[in-house]
Structure 1
Amino acid sequence: MARVILLDALNLIRRLYAVQERPYLPLAEEVAEGTRQQIISNTQQMLLQTLSRLRQELQATHALMVFDGDNSSQWRQKLCALYKANRKPMPSILAAALPDLLTATELSGVKCFHQAEYEADDVIATIATKIRQHQQDVVIVSTDKGYLPLLGQGVEIYDPFARHYVSREQVKEKFGVQPEQLVSWWSLVGDSTNNIPGVNGVGPKGAEEFMALGRSLNDALQHPDCPKKLKLKITEQKQDIILYTQILTLQTQLELGLNLQDIRLTESS
Structure 2
Amino acid sequence: MSASLLIIDAMNLIRRIYAVQEKQNKNSQFALSATNNTACNALQKMLRAHNPSHVICVFDSHVESWRHQLLTDYKLGRKPIPPELKAYLPQIQDAFYEMGIESLITEQDEADDLIATLAFKVTERQQRCVIVSTDKGFYQLLNAYTTIYDYFQSLHMDNRFIEHKLGLKIDQMTDYWGITGISSSHIKGVEGVGNKGALALLQQYQSLENILNSEEKDDKRLLKVQQHKEDALLAKQLVCLKKDIVLGFNLKDLRYPKK
TM-score tier (shorter): over 0.9
Aligned twin of 2:7: 6
> Structure 1: how far apart are the matches of 2:221 and 2:155?
37
CA apart distance, 1:152: 3.7
Unaligned runs of 5+ in 2: none
Aligned twin of 2:36: 44
Equivalent AA in structure 2 for residue 90 of structure 1: I
1:196 matches 2:196: no
Residues 1-269 of structure 1 aligned to structure 2 (within 5 Å): 1-24=2-25, 35-71=27-63, 73-152=64-143, 154-222=145-213, 227-266=218-257
Q: Give the match's secondary structure for 2:69.
A: helix
CA apart distance, 1:220: 3.8
> Structure 1: how far apart are the matches of 2:33 and 2:196?
46
Deviations 1:64-114 (A, max 9, x none): 10111242x331111111210021011122112111011111111110011
Unaligned runs of 5+ in 1: 28-34
> Structure 1: how far apart are the matches of 2:28 and 2:217?
57
> Structure 2: how far apart are the matches of 1:223 and 1:43?
52
Deviations 1:177-222 (A, max 9, x none): 2222111111211211211112121011111110002332122445
Moved more, 147-156 or 35-44: 147-156
> Structure 2: how far apart are the matches of 1:94 and 1:226?
53
Asked if the contact 2:142–2:170 (Cα under 8 Å) also holds between the matched residues in 1, the reply is: yes
Equivalent AA in structure 1 for residue 19 of structure 2: A
Moved more, 54-63 or 145-154: 145-154
Residues 199 and 77 of structure 1: CA distance in aligned 2, closer, same or farther (over 3 Å): same
CA apart distance, 1:232: 1.9
> Structure 2: how far apart are the matches of 1:153 and 1:236?
36
Asked if the contact 1:152–1:180 (Cα under 8 Å) also holds between the matched residues in 2, the reply is: no
Asked if the contact 2:65–2:110 (Cα under 8 Å) also holds between the matched residues in 1, the reply is: no
Equivalent AA in structure 1 for residue 13 of structure 2: L
> Structure 2: how far apart are the matches of 1:12 and 1:20?
13
Deviations 1:10-39 (A, max 9, x none): 001101111111124xx6xxxxxxx12211
> Structure 1: how far apart are the matches of 2:137 and 2:93?
23
Equivalent AA in structure 2 for residue 110 of structure 1: I
CA apart distance, 1:129: 0.5
Asked if the contact 1:151–1:168 (Cα under 8 Å) also holds between the matched residues in 2, the reply is: yes
Moved more, 210-219 or 101-110: 210-219
Asked if the contact 2:205–2:211 (Cα under 8 Å) also holds between the matched residues in 1, the reply is: yes
> Structure 2: how far apart are the matches of 1:96 and 1:230?
47
Q: Percent identity?
A: 36
> Structure 1: how far apart are the matches of 2:202 and 2:212?
9
Deviations 1:38-69 (A, max 9, x none): 11111111111111110110111110101112
Aligned residues: 258
Moved more, 41-50 or 189-198: 189-198
Q: Give the match's secondary structure for 2:142.
A: helix
Aligned twin of 1:31: none
Q: Give the match's secondary structure for 1:123.
A: helix
> Structure 1: how far apart are the matches of 2:160 and 2:251?
31
